[in-house]
Amino acid sequence: MNNFVYRRPQSLVEALDFLADCGNNTVLLAGGTDLTIDLRQGSVQPEYVLDTARLNELKGIELSNGQLCIGAGVTLTEIYGSTLLERYAPALQKCAATFASKQIRNVATIGGNVAHCSPCADTMPPLLVHEAKAILASRKGLREEPVQDIASGPYMSSLRRDEIIVRFILKPSKDIDFADFQKIGRRKELATARISMASMARQGTDRKISFLRFALGACTSTPQRMEFIEDYLVGKVPTAQMLWEAGGMLAERVLELTGRRPSAVYKEPAVRGLLVRMLYPLLRVEA
């Protein structure tokens, strides 16, 4: 681990002032679950580490003016325990339930998980199905960025070096019949996702899917919302054959994006099977 200067600002304004002056030589510590590994391996060698994990301005979960607001400094444990998210963003809460270990959930933050831009970031697919936007702050002011645009590639962020994610704005789920998050890893517990998915849906009394949001993570360079799956299923009464076909379409898209690698032998049926497993409850909704 290289030598660096640790700084812990007492306010957001202090943090932004520091980044305005020293941002090019600074990395942010939001929870540290990824950064500490990078520092030990020497893949990151900053002059300064700026600890934003305890800033009050980055805390809180609230529903305001029809929007669901989650502070960037909210931990995965807080997400898992939120009754507000249980009601308005259940897929995000479910993702927190399987996120690493309890000890890591206690310190890992949603802002850090997004800003790290890992393809397998668990919080990304749920945020994408809620069409989330990030509110970014710098000494120049605030700006808004769709969460899907933050990662420009694996571990490559579009954020400026003088910016901090302050909070996320989500469209809350309303009148949703179904929401879920699932992932596949090398083992059942404490596993990095090899494939992850999030979805939420609504069905009418005729059992037709009237609303669907679906996002994929981990097996492409950046997590992505898969709108062609939504378009294929919306307006239809789902059947097992239809879900099987949708899974095949998704597997084909993944291979188009990533190329046919040796892992395709595993990945193709796994992507298809996970979609079918996730959306299968839609077949059992009673008219």
- At 123-174, the pLDDT tens digits run 999 999 999 999 999 999 999 999 999 999 999 999 999 999 999 999 999 8
Decide if pLDDT at 285 tops 60. Answer: no
- Residues 66 and 104: their CA atoms lie apart, in Å, by 31
- For range 197-203, the mean pLDDT: 97
User: What is the band of 287 on the pLDDT scale with cuts at 50, 70, 90?
Assistant: very low
- For range 18-47, the mean pLDDT: 93
Residues of the chain with pLDDT > 90, as a percent, come to 81
pLDDT of residue 189: 61
User: What is the band of 286 on the pLDDT scale with cuts at 50, 70, 90?
Assistant: very low
User: What is the band of 237 on the pLDDT scale with cuts at 50, 70, 90?
Assistant: very high
Decide if pLDDT at 205 tops 50. Answer: yes
pLDDT of residue 172: 95
pLDDT of residue 191: 72
- For range 98-113, the mean pLDDT: 93
Decide if pLDDT at 23 tops 90. Answer: yes
- Residue 32 identity (one-letter amino acid): G
Q: Which domains does the chain have, with CATH numbers?
A: 5-51 (3.30.43.10), 56-170 (3.30.465.10), 178-284 (3.30.390.50)
Decide if pLDDT at 263 tops 80. Answer: no
Residue 104 structure tokens: 């890591």
Q: How many CB atoms lie within 10 A of CB 125?
A: 30
Instruction: Tell me which of 149 and 32 has the higher pLDDT.
Output: 149
Instruction: Tell me which of 284 and 201 has the higher pLDDT.
Output: 201
Sheet holding 5-7, edge to edge: 5-7, 48-51, 26-29
